[in-house]
Structure 1
């Protein structure tokens, strides 16, 4: 079936035809949601040997503000076993290429594997809307979801682009203010810290006032960041209106530089252009593991696989850990991450002929229960593993959502790595905030800079 779909798409491109929409899921297949499948499309049962347990949805608890990720029972557990360079052969079929390369390259690297827990769930309104999307939402090409509202757009994916859009449009609360602390870590463990404060409003995944995404209108997220440290970057603002579509119909972005003292449109907030202040260690489309347009790649859904991935990572994300505890020579402190066995969707993206990107191929690993991208193998033009992205998944009981904090990008050619989305020494995400309609406007940002 995939081969036929791929051939049809290639024919349309060759003839210059507009991309066709992938068919909606039939009502009978959508009826599996909440029965044979969880409400968001995962397999509810355990695997054969029970090493992946059955899904048991969490109950909401905690305040919208001031909650670091935590689960007393999970956090008290000890590792079941440890994967090292010496024994990695026993587990290779369940390891990403990035994890295998880290194990092969560094004798000091290891993966502590813990019991698996599956509690990720979402508010009832998100679950209900997800079921409706299954029979209403369509994918036009790779960048235009159509007729989608509030929930995960593609709970029963049929193409490689669809799981990526589930990740991009996932529920994360109505709005958030969050600290995004970043570290460029040298091979000897020394690091440079950048502190950023981010405000985000989730228009599409808003229960109070959902903004539907169609082929004619698709603004689903608004984002504003302010760099606080280091002094040479302090006062830099990045404003983004995230939209479905490409080109003029897609993302709109603005940049305020203290040196220029004005805000200006920033078309370079895209793809493999380096994110401001990262010294080239993170591309714009690596933020949140992946974001932005998909149009430069052909996307292939490879299927589902059992993998050891970062999961229930409360320790490495929590307030007891300092940034110096995370940043160690060559790789993060291996005593802090928690790995569990879970089922993931595997999606492969191949660079299209005639387009450009630093990565020729990318392989994404997406948690079946939360639709979060938790790992990415990034390959260069020589088909060699160039970078590896690792997102440490946590579940936020206070809003019933999952996200990855921190996120790591390993640069294999330089021996450096980049840590982002850490808030250990500051405050956890504040989901009690709300923003006026004009807060995320260029004129509003310009006014902020004069205060």
Structure 2
């Protein structure tokens, strides 16, 4: 295809986005000067833009013809005829053709639409490439999420210091964000389903491409935003219950992690417990947070890398850098399909690029800089969030020498029966070690999203011991 690779933001987009550009400049300046201000709800006049020039989630509804970005028209609203509940999601776009391929040799031509981390991966691995497809703005969510998001715009506020929010039990917390802290809370409050279970594996991959799978069963009860719960059942300040059970390898099987997550983390920090099958004891796990190594990850990711970012925001200053168009993984149905196996996905240095799909999307660029007097192995993190879903799709992570160290990408897809834009394969690269860890590998598993019946008692520490003996 003869698409011009170095297209900059056109005059057309400048006119279309002039209001947003002005707002971003103001909020970025404010974020730089006072990055941790307690947030304030926007005016009714500003909130009225939702569903008008902005989508119900706060994205620009208009497209950009020059860049090939379409207007948002509601996202996917129909279920694929071959879809079976709880199973894998058939690709709704099997006939889409690759427009062009970005490699280490031609990456400089596309640098305006790549992050530094993506550029580094292309330069470091000659076998890595990004197959670019037509951009499809498929993100869609339940009407209840749209309605709650509209209400939140005028009433939700950050707590002092920004480490939490008040005023909502559903919907995107800050659909018209005023600072970087609000943007990352949008990622944390994005709809992720109701009460459900799934199974998947993670692969910490050596430089030679070897790996031993770690297999998990997961159960989630998303209190915040849960569409099967009434407003009174969605408890104020409670975000979710999360249960992770290792099923393989045998030396790790039986270990269980339980997490309770909260909206106002000043008032109530995360609670976590672990069950050890050897001792048959349940213990508090305060280290399941921040930069402690993630479960069975070979130290290739931190606890707060899970889901691209999770947990408390208090160790960083959060700044809106702006909005730009980036090639991000999107509509990656093939990579997350049961038509291929995990062994087809894993390759030395990186996942198999033949199954990955990239599209040009507008993203929010938010920079997290470590605060003085706090600690974390990442001094700086640059987050790139899809405007239509608020899901973080790319993260560039820097060490204490200000050197690019790690790069993460989320290969998302739409669970169109719910609907929601969901996490798929999640990959965290260590550029120095030349290793990576691939997570959420569902290819060899039958259950992708299975609604479950669960009560509050099922996510209590007392329940872990009985689960471990099953």
CA contact (8 A) 2:425 2:440 kept: yes
Give the equivalent residue in structure 2 for 1:105. 124
Q: Distance in 2 between matches of 1:149 and 1:259?
A: 39
Query: 2:251 & 2:321 partners in 1: Cα distance?
Result: 44
Q: Report if aligned partners of 2:163, 2:266 keep a CA contact under 8 Å in 1.
A: no
The reply on whether 1:54 has 2:71 as its aligned counterpart is yes
Question: In 1, distance between residues paired with 2:177 and 2:154?
Answer: 12
Return 205-214 or 194-203, whichever deviates more: 205-214
Q: Which whole-Å CA distance do the structure 2 matches of 1:343 and 1:370 have between them?
A: 11
Aligned residue number for residue 452 of structure 2: 433
C-alpha distance after superposition, 1:375-431 (max 9, x if no partner): 100000111111101100111101110122100000111111100011110024224
- Residue 115 of structure 1 corresponds to 134
Q: 1:372 aligns with which of 387, 391, 407?
A: 391
Q: 1:384–1:396: structure 2 CA closer, same or farther, 3 Å change rule? A: same
Q: Which residue of structure 2 aligns with residue 16 of structure 1? A: none
The structure 1 residue matched to 2:291, chosen from 272, 278, 281, is 272
Distance 1:78 1:20, change over 3 A: closer
- Count of residues in correspondence between the two structures: 441
Once residues 139 and 293 of structure 1 are traced to their aligned partners in structure 2, the CA distance between those partners, rounded to angstroms, is 13
Residue 259 (structure 1) shift: 2.3
Please report the TM-score for the alignment, with normalisation by the length of structure 2.
Answer: 0.90
1:323 & 1:59 partners in 2: Cα distance? Answer: 29
- 1:364 and 1:64, CA in 2 relative to 1: closer, same or farther beyond 3 A? farther
The CA RMSD measured in Å over matched residues stands at 2.0
1:105-144 equivalent positions in 2, closer than 5 A: 105-140=124-159, 141-144=161-164
Moved more, 244-253 or 398-407: 244-253
- Spell out the pairing of 1:152-171 with structure 2 (5 A cutoff): 152-171=172-191
Query: Could you say what secondary structure the match of 1:256 adopts?
Result: strand
Give the aligned partner of residue 435 of structure 2: 416
Task: Look up the match of 1:341.
Answer: 360
Residues 3 and 61 (structure 1), Cα distance of their counterparts in 2 relative to 1, 3 Å cut: closer
CA distance in 2, matches of 1:135, 1:420: 37
* Residue aligned with 1:197, SS: strand
| Counterpart-to-counterpart distance in 2, 1:129 and 1:351 | 32
Cα deviation digits, residues 207-260 of structure 1 (max 9, x gap): 23256899x951110011110001110000000001123467110000111222
2:211 and 2:257 map into 1 onto residues whose CA distance is 24
**2:216 match: secondary structure:** strand
Asked if the contact 2:254–2:276 (Cα under 8 Å) also holds between the matched residues in 1, the reply is yes
Q: For residues 43-442 of structure 1, what are the structure 2 equivalents within 5 Å?
A: 43-49=60-66, 51-57=68-74, 58-61=76-79, 65-72=85-92, 74-140=93-159, 141-209=161-229, 217-246=236-265, 249-442=268-461
Structure 2 equivalent of residue 13 of structure 1: none
Alignment match of 1:27 (pick from 44, 63, 84): 44
In 1, distance between residues paired with 2:128 and 2:397? 20
Cα pair distance change 1:287/1:209, threshold 3 Å: same
Measured after TM superposition, the shift of residue 311 of structure 1 is 0.5
1:145-198 CA deviation, whole Å, 9 max, x = no partner? 110131111111111111211111111221110113100111111111000000
Distance 1:56 1:249, change over 3 A: same
Q: Which runs of 5+ in 1 are unaligned?
A: 11-18
Equivalents in 2 of 1:303, 1:4: separation in Å? 11
1:246·1:295 contact (CA, 8 Å) conserved in 2?
no
Match of 1:190, SS state, is coil
- 1:348-373 deviation digits (Å, cap 9, x = unpaired): 00000110000000000000011111
Per the TM alignment, residue 333 of structure 1 is displaced from its structure 2 partner at its CA by 1.0
Q: Distance in 1 between matches of 2:452 and 2:308?
A: 24
